[in-house]
Chains A and B, each alone.
Chain A
Amino acid sequence: MTKNKNGQIDHSRRAALRMIAAGGVAGLIAPNLLGKPAFAQTPPAAPTGRIIVGLSQEPTVFHPLMAHIEVDDGVNFSMFDALFRITPEGEIVPNLTTEVPSLENGGISEDGLNWRIKLRDDVRWHDGTAFSADDVKYTLELITNPDFRAWRTTGHALVRDITVVSPTELTWRMEEAFAPYLSFLTETFMVPKHILEAQADMNEGAFHQAPIGTGAFKWGRRIAGDRLELVANPDYFGEGPYIEQLVFKYIPDMTVLYTQFRSGDIDVVGQSYLTPDNYAEAKDLPDRVVTLVPKASVESIYFNLDLPQFQDLAVREALYAAIDRMAIIDALNYGVPRETETFMPTQSYFYNPDLPKHEFDLDRARQLLDDAGWVPGADGIRAKDGVRLSFKNSTTSGAHLREQAQQFIQQTYAEIGVEMLIENLPSAVMWGDFWVRSQFETAMVGITYLIGSDPDVTNRFHTKAIVAKGGSGSNNAQYSNPEVDALLEEGARTFDPEKRKDIYLQVQEIIRRDLPFMPLFANTSVYGIKKGVEGFTANANTRTESWHAAGWYWA
């Protein structure tokens, strides 16, 4: 990994990491070995060859700090560097820095408020200018500039008094202690002050169309609607790059994406990977390495807890018990995803494996509803106190795997006297106010809860994050539990991984009990790479397969 990694990690972090390795995570790290033959391969001395990554969405936002989506991340990771990098194991390691600040090494003060960052002195921008602490200060200030169309501002908004001590050192103060910030900084890419300051408009200009970073690859050229070519940066300070050219090819159709992977036109299948129905055939293809890689997102059905029928826990439990989850996983999704009971990715250090297991049991579901007083009416639909157990389920229209699951669940629910109507909406409508302001009744949705590997989910489950009730955040289920609120607040202030783990295990336990959403499965991507592509590792702590293209090479 990075050259200065060793010796910089504090003790408790090491201990934590040992635990990660000991716990069931080892199996999940297996994708690291993707495509590695028994004998050791060594990267070439000089960058050689080209690797083509096929993407089903087109990367178009190249200023890494502007609002963007997942596919844009792959390009950002290749062209830019953040202060820190997150490893597949969830470890935060230095990238543009020489150490990761912590309470132990004094980089973060005891109260968590004062941060000190030490930078590398050998980093240069693609135009040859030296990278320095001024760039970091500029970057962090740009994010909170009210005129700049910035992406996430959470955490950054707490930063005050950024002081450049020397070209390789800077300090700042946090308005309040915020442990997840370290993780946020692994996705905050540094931009060049000397170029952006000279640009008239911070929201558009030459940089936005051909950016200059510090990353392993430099801007090559872009053929819009088709592909983006990056070229090796021979002066890269870190490991790699080992290939001359990195190409992101836009293939909007999943069938074509697969066909081109099969025919060898693309070397790596990126976002949104191979579809589950192709997995069985793909894994037997000669000279292709196809593996299942756990993703950080969880597929689920969200309740709008404001609705009277969902305020009764018995209803939520019964509805959960009446989902034939294994059929959805095995048949509709070809056995690709895995079961889960929580929002936390199964590969996370903070994952709670001891939650009660879901069991598909229609009799139990009926019993639960009977006991709670929901009895079938004349139309066969259960009701209680004049409230019918009937609701709509919505998701993006045209997402046919979800549509299949919806229709399947609809049929099972009808068997226990529950009416589920399907009302799907175009994505711009579905994920607009309808979702954000909790106007849905139930929604089928895949959500990534974590930023980097940080377990903080205040944004999703804290009472103050209910937008429909005037809060700020993404608590779309309108879930409110004072116990969880308190735990989340404590967790965000706590820096010690082991203490944090206790907190988030509890959070998961309570949320599993309260069921503000019904977990269907932990999403799993079907990765496909051509045999001969070495150094490829999956990293569920980032949103992209191309988080470390610097390390890729041809055998």
Chain B
Amino acid sequence: MTAITAARSPSHWWQSRVMRRFMSHKLALFGLVMISLLTLACVVGPWLLPYDMLFIDLRARFAPPFTGNHYLGTDPLGRDIAARLLMAGRVSLLVGFIAMALAILVGTLVGVIAGYRGGWINAVLMRTVDGFLSFPSIFLLLALSAALKPSPMMITVIIALTGWMEVARIVEAEVRSLKEREFILAGRMLGLGRAHIMFRELLPNVMGPIIVAATLTVARAILLEAYVSFLGFGIQPPLPSWGNMLNGAQQYLAGAPWLAIIPGAAITVAVASFNFIGDGLRDALDVRSDTV
């Protein structure tokens, strides 16, 4: 079965057709650059800024952007927004990535098993997927987060819990169409185990759609975290996240609009970047898609 996969790999991965096509997609490239910069800024930025992000200075509260060294102004406690924005970025991006990883893991597992095994296993798994999909996930998300002790991990899990179904559907459909193909039938003839066929033979062949879905899931997870934290159910202070920086911003909207504008802009940039990358990957990997 090494022969099956060998056929599609050229000498180096960066010379591959996929890579070339992705690199020629300007928007995707732009997204990749933005995300890299944003991630870099969030990782090293807080050390470079002259303000300790958590230092509360009530005399300096509500400073508008470009006041002294506060490039993005200060919040109601007089903390530097630039520093907090970057710290919050760590949290929001991390939540996004981990939620994506979990959602992809669960979705892929369910999709592969349901697609390959078929029969009643498929029926049970896919009806559960339908069940989760058939009410607005925001209901489930809010019900869960209004009910559980909100820790960052908990929020991540909850977001993942409402995001795995799409992946499961995509993978299931792909696997179902692949499993009757010759190389799989050949594998079965050779007496390969079920697990082996599912995860060593089928999975690599559905990686394309999964990667695209993964990128879009990160974008979605960041949006969801923002909304839930905006309502006050999500990430709890003193830990900042882009979403909880917006919590309370509505109240100060008239006097301090930058409290609302800045974190929202950061969310939009991050999410748009992921969406651009996802779009580029879709073209590059030739994934036909049912979603935008």
Chain A contacts to B: CB under 8 angstroms? 253-255, 275, 277, 327, 331-332, 397-400, 403-404, 406-408, 410-411, 422-426, 428-429
Residue of A nearest to B56 (CB): A411
Residue of B nearest to A421 (CB): B238
Q: Report how far A234 CA is from B195 CA in the complex, Å.
A: 81
Partner of A399, one of B55, B231, B232: B232
Neighbouring B residues of A406 by C-beta, 8 Å: 237
Q: B147 at the A/B interface (Cβ < 8 Å)?
A: yes
Contact A426 B150 (CB under 8 A): yes
Q: In the complex, how many angstroms separate the beta carbon of B155 from the nearest chain A beta carbon?
A: 11
Residue of A nearest to B235 (CB): A397
Size of the chain B interface, CB-CB below 8 angstroms: 27
Q: In the complex, how many angstroms separate the beta carbon of A288 from the nearest chain B beta carbon?
A: 16
Partner of B251, one of A255, A428, A429: A255
Given known A-B contacts A253-B250, A255-B250, A255-B251, A424 and B236 have beta carbons under 8 A apart: yes
Neighbouring A residues of B247 by C-beta, 8 Å: 398, 400
Neighbouring B residues of A403 by C-beta, 8 Å: 237, 248
Q: B61 at the A/B interface (Cβ < 8 Å)?
A: yes
Q: B255 at the A/B interface (Cβ < 8 Å)?
A: yes
Residue of A nearest to B253 (CB): A255
Partner of B61, one of A255, A331, A398, A411: A331
Q: In the complex, how many angstroms separate the beta carbon of A157 from the nearest chain B beta carbon?
A: 33
Contact B251 A425 (CB under 8 A): no
Q: In the complex, how many angstroms separate the beta carbon of A451 from the nearest chain B beta carbon?
A: 30
Contact B236 A423 (CB under 8 A): yes
Chain B CB count within 10 A is highest, among A254, A397, A424, for A397
- Sample 9 A-B pairs with CB under 8 A, ordered by A number: A255-B250, A255-B251, A398-B232, A398-B247, A400-B76, A400-B248, A400-B251, A424-B237, A428-B146
Contact A407 B236 (CB under 8 A): no
Q: Report how far A408 CA is from B54 CA in the complex, Å.
A: 10
Contact B77 A407 (CB under 8 A): yes
Contact A331 B58 (CB under 8 A): yes
A255-B253, A277-B252 known, 17 other contacts, Cβ within 8 Å: A254-B251, A331-B61, A397-B232, A398-B232, A400-B248, A403-B237, A406-B237, A407-B77, A408-B58, A410-B238, A422-B236, A422-B237, A422-B238, A426-B145, A426-B233, A428-B146, A429-B149
Neighbouring B residues of A410 by C-beta, 8 Å: 238
Q: B254 at the A/B interface (Cβ < 8 Å)?
A: yes
Q: Report how far A429 CA is from B144 CA in the complex, Å.
A: 12
Q: Report how far A255 CA is from B238 CA in the complex, Å.
A: 24
Q: In the complex, how many angstroms separate the beta carbon of A380 from the nearest chain B beta carbon?
A: 16
Contact B56 A407 (CB under 8 A): yes
Q: Report how far A331 CA is from B251 CA in the complex, Å.
A: 16
Neighbouring A residues of B146 by C-beta, 8 Å: 426, 428
Neighbouring A residues of B54 by C-beta, 8 Å: 407, 411
Contact B233 A397 (CB under 8 A): yes
Q: In the complex, how many angstroms separate the beta carbon of A431 from the nearest chain B beta carbon?
A: 13
Q: Report how far A244 CA is from B190 CA in the complex, Å.
A: 88
Given known A-B contacts A408-B77, A426-B150, A255 and B236 have beta carbons under 8 A apart: no
Neighbouring B residues of A400 by C-beta, 8 Å: 76, 232, 247-248, 251
Contact A429 B61 (CB under 8 A): no
Q: Report how far A275 CA is from B254 CA in the complex, Å.
A: 13
Neighbouring A residues of B236 by C-beta, 8 Å: 397, 422-424
Chain B contacts to A: CB under 8 angstroms? 54-56, 58, 61, 76-77, 145-150, 231-233, 236-238, 247-248, 250-255
Partner of A426, one of B76, B147, B252: B147
Q: Report how far A422 CA is from B240 CA in the complex, Å.
A: 13
Neighbouring A residues of B232 by C-beta, 8 Å: 397-400
Q: In the complex, how many angstroms separate the beta carbon of A231 from the nearest chain B beta carbon?
A: 34
Neighbouring B residues of A332 by C-beta, 8 Å: 58, 76-77
Neighbouring A residues of B55 by C-beta, 8 Å: 411
Neighbouring B residues of A277 by C-beta, 8 Å: 251-252, 255
Neighbouring A residues of B253 by C-beta, 8 Å: 255
Neighbouring A residues of B237 by C-beta, 8 Å: 403, 406-407, 422, 424
Neighbouring A residues of B77 by C-beta, 8 Å: 332, 404, 407-408
Residue of B nearest to A401 (CB): B248
Q: In the complex, how many angstroms separate the beta carbon of A101 from the nearest chain B beta carbon?
A: 46
Neighbouring A residues of B149 by C-beta, 8 Å: 423, 425, 429
Residue of A nearest to B248 (CB): A400
Q: Report how far A400 CA is from B255 CA in the complex, Å.
A: 16
Neighbouring B residues of A398 by C-beta, 8 Å: 231-233, 247
Neighbouring A residues of B252 by C-beta, 8 Å: 277
Q: In the complex, how many angstroms separate the beta carbon of A254 from the nearest chain B beta carbon?
A: 6
Q: In the complex, how many angstroms separate the beta carbon of B148 from the nearest chain A beta carbon?
A: 8
Q: Report how far A428 CA is from B56 CA in the complex, Å.
A: 30
Q: In the complex, how many angstroms separate the beta carbon of A330 from the nearest chain B beta carbon?
A: 9
Q: Report how far A404 CA is from B233 CA in the complex, Å.
A: 16
Neighbouring A residues of B56 by C-beta, 8 Å: 407-408, 411
Residue of A nearest to B254 (CB): A255
Neighbouring B residues of A408 by C-beta, 8 Å: 56, 58, 77
Q: Report how far A397 CA is from B145 CA in the complex, Å.
A: 11
Q: Report how far A437 CA is from B185 CA in the complex, Å.
A: 62
Q: Report how far A364 CA is from B68 CA in the complex, Å.
A: 35
Neighbouring B residues of A255 by C-beta, 8 Å: 250-251, 253-254
Neighbouring B residues of A423 by C-beta, 8 Å: 149, 236
Q: Report how far A426 CA is from B254 CA in the complex, Å.
A: 27
Q: Report how far A425 CA is from B149 CA in the complex, Å.
A: 6
Q: Report how far A403 CA is from B249 CA in the complex, Å.
A: 13
Neighbouring B residues of A422 by C-beta, 8 Å: 236-238
Q: In the complex, how many angstroms separate the beta carbon of A197 from the nearest chain B beta carbon?
A: 39
Q: Report how far A428 CA is from B146 CA in the complex, Å.
A: 8
Partner of A397, one of B58, B150, B238: B150
Q: Report how far A425 CA is from B154 CA in the complex, Å.
A: 13
Neighbouring B residues of A275 by C-beta, 8 Å: 251
Residue of A nearest to B57 (CB): A411
Q: Report how far A410 CA is from B236 CA in the complex, Å.
A: 14
Q: Report how far A433 CA is from B54 CA in the complex, Å.
A: 32
Top 5 A-B pairs, shortest CB-CB distance? A398-B232, A400-B248, A331-B58, A426-B146, A411-B56
Neighbouring B residues of A254 by C-beta, 8 Å: 251
Residue of A nearest to B62 (CB): A277
Q: Report how far A327 CA is from B55 CA in the complex, Å.
A: 15
Q: In the complex, how many angstroms separate the beta carbon of B247 from the nearest chain A beta carbon?
A: 6
Neighbouring A residues of B148 by C-beta, 8 Å: 426, 429
Q: Report how far A285 CA is from B111 CA in the complex, Å.
A: 61
